[in-house]
Amino acid sequence: MRRRTVLASALGIGGGLLLPGLPGTGAAHAARADWSRAVVDSTMARYPDPASLGGWGYTRGLFLLGAYRVYQRVGEPSYLAYIKRWVDNHVDADGHMSRTFDNLDAMQSGNLLLLLHRETGDTRYRTAADQIRGRFADYPRTTDGGMWHATGKTNELWADGVFMAQPFLLRYGLAYGDKAYAYDEVTRNLSVYFRHLKASNGLLYHAYDADGDAPWNPDDATGTSAHFWARAIGWTAMTHIEVLEMLPARHPRRAELIANVRHLAKGFLRYQDRATGRWFQVVDRADEPGNWLETSASSMYTLMLHAAWEHGWLHGGGYAAAARRGYRGVLDKVTVDADGLTSIADISEGTNVGDLAYYFGRKRNTNDLHGLGAFLLMNERLAR
């Protein structure tokens, strides 16, 4: 039996959700529950052996990156130890990883190698990170420089993919004296991806195929897929925030990336469900039978709106209000189970490019790591 967590009093909502850094905020939050800690503690309780989370992959990397952000705030040693134990299942004593990096998804967990090298000083984590960095040299790209989603997906760019490789590459470059390459490669990929996937409604198509022969039937004129899948857009939104926060103020592509954020913000504002504050699985099809409101993408969109507003890249109360609605809407999907563990519901399972029926039919999971990781990244920004 599950009971709905009573969030209003714990969050000090009263007449409206209070967010630090947004208009109408600034009230004390001493009574608020620490939902980030609750999510990390509950997941560790469900998977006491980090190996049981699963193998090397981006969903585990996303959740553990979120757990690290919580560790940075609260200093709980067990969080860092848990991350280290998971990574150590994949890195041997010499820093070697027995895997190839033939898709962008496989690179995302490399962020954990960088943070562990910084936290522990153990050089084998740097050696493992070097293995991923070396793959960029000959990783296949489109003629205009966009990294393929996978080596088996020739000339395909998926909006999901930029978060998997580009923040890692930029962090690596900043940490190890490889900045010039990282700045150029990362910003070029974001530019190329966005240019091909951008739609006039403020959203991004899920994928683009330069050859036009992908099995998901690209548009003959544009090479894009047909629909606007929520989480794919969310990955791109989060990537822009992370990259802009690391990019020099005078970088020549900085203004372009901020313009991309503004494009997405207009779309997020346009398609946010006013009743719940969340966004639909297929973003622009709210009235379609079978469409449903998805939590991981809603966390990602809320994160972008809030961060962009804080940085001054967005102006006007409409964006701040959308972030408040989004945060409230995501928290509405947080529950405490009878066993005292925290859960988050309505998270889409992993998803490829497909038609409407395919997107609508994705499983609505509870505690899927896509959603837990996205929640932690969002909550660590908004619940300060």
Residue 130 falls in the annotated catalytic set: no
DSSP lists the bridge partners of residue 141 as 147
User: One of 34, 88, 138, 160 is an active-site residue; which one?
Assistant: 160
Nearest alpha-carbon partner for 203 in 283, 280, 274, 281: 283
- Residue pointed to by tokens 């209070």: 18
CB burial of 287-310 (b: ≥16 within 10 Å; e: otherwise) equals eeeebebbbbbbbbbbbbbbbbbb
Tokens of 12: 């000090």
End-to-end Cα, the chain, rounded Å:
31
Alpha-helical regions (H) of 272-355: 295-311, 317-331
Helix axis angle for 317-331 and 369-382, nearest 10°, is 130
CB 42 within 8 A of CB 342: yes
Question: Tokens at residue 22, please?
Answer: 């947004």
Q: List, by residue number, the catalytic residues.
A: 160
